[in-house]
Amino acid sequence: MKPHHFFILLSVSAAPRYGSAIQDDVRALSDGAVRLWPATLYGSLEELVEQQWLEEVAEDERPEGISGRERFYRLSREGRKALEREAERLQSLARVARTRLALGGA
């Protein structure tokens, strides 16, 4: 999974969000390491919807007080599974790295 896709899915796993809120949350989640420029963000959102990992929130399901321009996204069931698989993969890689580092001495 592309790192920015992981962070986008992670962002919307907590709550439905719209573009710039996802952008800000990803920057915070990654301690500034991942910056989503508009072309990358909106292209990635389209890809994730096509993969059925994200769903666009219907207008009548949006939080109150939100104007109609923002497109909200939420994690789909398949997206949650993909995010869980990727988190497990990353955890496994981290275990291997810690083991190798411990064996390496200096």
pLDDT given for residue 99 in this prediction? 92
> Rounded to the nearest 10 degrees, how much is the dihedral formed by the CA atoms of 49, 55, 57, 61?
170
**In the predicted structure, residue 106 carries a pLDDT above the cut 80:** no
pLDDT tens for 31-89 read 999 999 999 999 999 999 999 999 998 876 666 666 667 889 999 999 999 999 999 99
The set of residues, in sequence order, having a beta carbon less than 8 Å from that of 71 and lying 6+ positions away, is: 18, 19, 45, 56, 57
What domains are there in the chain, each with its CATH number?
3-103 (1.10.10.10)
> Per the structure block, which two tokens stand in for 8?
């986008």
**pTM as predicted:** 0.88
